[in-house]
Amino acid sequence: MRKAERSAGGQGLTSHWLSEYLATLVVERGLAPNTVASYRSDLRRFGAWLERHNLDVLACDRADVRRYLSELRGQGLSARSAARALAALRSLFRFLLAVEARASDPTEELESPKLLRALPRFLSFEQVESLLAAPQVSRPLGLRDRAMLETLYATGVRVSELVHLTLANLRLDPGFVRVLGKGSKERVVPLGSSARGWIARYLEEVRPRHDRHRAAELFLTARGEAMTRQAFWYAIKGYGRRAGIEVPLSPHVVRHSFATHLLEHGADLRAVQAMLGHSDISTTEIYTHVTRERLRQMYDRAHPRA
């Protein structure tokens, strides 16, 4: 906007524009509640900054946005958090541009802070085998947990997706599950024969005795309720200790192991992206760095002139 508009006094980011924008995130883009909450928090902070500097979201320019981000970094905000803050601003200004509240996007040529992406932790195939064998399958809950671990490693689903798998979305005969992922996006993921076998045993021997409320979810607690993320997180840590796995263990480490092992055995990157539910191929490409690093380590150990 014009300088004349800027000198008239700023209103920051009014509740009207914030509410309108957040509504589009839910209705049109279908973002998850946690993502919307993060955007709301970032934009409220930006709105407060605009008010302190007597600026209006409809009139601020690129220099203002750059100064705001610089101040965030000066306050000790990490590069990752600053990048998320800029992503929230980009999305907001594109919305304002689309509804013709602004004539330009002040974030258009701003670069995100460079992030050093840490390689994901993963298990060796032998460690995965030990983890899968850790539950005592002679006990009902041990058999359920074996089925859950097998499903997790067979599909690479997120833990929230695992505990929300339903009977209706399970197809044991052809061997696949329908998964509802981030942004309410649905994908189909294959189920290997080992996972199918353990799920079939669980369905026959354990689930009927626990299903007191005709639950839709596949995996149930002893009280007949859906398994929770926290309960499974706690269980997998215990099985990791029982299996002698020393690396910090979580369901996400098993997800990383799923992707890494697939790529190591020649799987197509796009296929792995689809199974993981990544919207951007660059997110999946981190696993190619993992496999290259493992190849380098193997070379260094094995080659006499490495």
Write out pLDDT tens, residues 107-150: 987 877 655 456 788 999 999 999 999 999 999 999 999 999 99
Which structural domain, as residue segments, surrounds residue 279? 125-302
Last residue of a domain, one of 98, 133, 156: 98
Mean pLDDT score across all residues of the chain = 87
Judged against a pLDDT cut of 70, whether residue 29 lies above it is answered with: yes
- Both 94 and 131 in one domain: the answer is no
Catalytic residues, by residue number, are 158, 182, 252, 255, 278, 287
Kindly state whether residue 43 falls inside one of the protein's structural domains. Answer: yes
What's this model's pTM, rounded to 2 decimal places?
Answer: 0.63
Edge-to-edge strands, sheet with 176-180? 170-171, 176-180, 186-190
- Residue 147: both structure tokens together: 């089925």
Other residues' Cβ atoms within 10 Å of the Cβ of residue 87: 15
Reported as a single tens digit per residue, the pLDDT across 48-81 is 999 999 999 999 999 999 999 888 888 887 777 8
Kindly state whether residue 181 falls inside one of the protein's structural domains. Answer: yes
Judged against a pLDDT cut of 70, whether residue 38 lies above it is answered with: yes
- Both 55 and 140 in one domain: the answer is no
- Both 22 and 138 in one domain: the answer is no
Determine the pLDDT at residue 293.
65
Q: Which residues contact 208 (CB under 8 A, 6 or more apart)?
A: none
Determine the pLDDT at residue 7.
34
- Both 211 and 282 in one domain: the answer is yes
Reported as a single tens digit per residue, the pLDDT across 285-299 is 888 876 666 666 666
CATH number of the domain encompassing residue 8: 1.10.150
The DSSP H or E segment spanning 87 is helix 79-98
Kindly state whether residue 110 falls inside one of the protein's structural domains. Answer: no
Last residue of a domain, one of 80, 98, 116: 98
Into how many domains does the chain fold? 2
- Both 51 and 144 in one domain: the answer is no
CA distance 158 to 182: 10
Q: Which whole number is the average pLDDT over 44-51? A: 92
Kindly state whether residue 240 falls inside one of the protein's structural domains. Answer: yes
- Both 134 and 94 in one domain: the answer is no
Write the DSSP symbol of residue 114: P
Chain-centroid distance of CA 66 in Å reads: 28
- Both 52 and 190 in one domain: the answer is no
Kindly state whether residue 113 falls inside one of the protein's structural domains. Answer: no
Kindly state whether residue 172 falls inside one of the protein's structural domains. Answer: yes
- Both 143 and 92 in one domain: the answer is no
Q: Which pLDDT band, with edges at 50, 70 and 90, does 222 fall under?
A: very high
- Residue spans of beta strands (DSSP E) within the chain: 170-171, 176-180, 186-190
Judged against a pLDDT cut of 80, whether residue 253 lies above it is answered with: yes
- Both 153 and 293 in one domain: the answer is yes
More confident residue, 14 or 66: 66
Kindly state whether residue 199 falls inside one of the protein's structural domains. Answer: yes
- Both 76 and 138 in one domain: the answer is no
Kindly state whether residue 296 falls inside one of the protein's structural domains. Answer: yes
Query: Packing angle between helix 33-52 and helix 62-74, nearest 10 degrees?
Result: 100
Provide the 3-class DSSP secondary structure of residue 53. Answer: coil
CATH number of the domain encompassing residue 297: 1.10.443.10
Determine the pLDDT at residue 8.
38
Q: Which pLDDT band, with edges at 50, 70 and 90, does 30 fall under?
A: confident
- Both 66 and 164 in one domain: the answer is no
- Both 130 and 44 in one domain: the answer is no
Determine the pLDDT at residue 32.
79
Q: Which pLDDT band, with edges at 50, 70 and 90, does 281 fall under?
A: confident
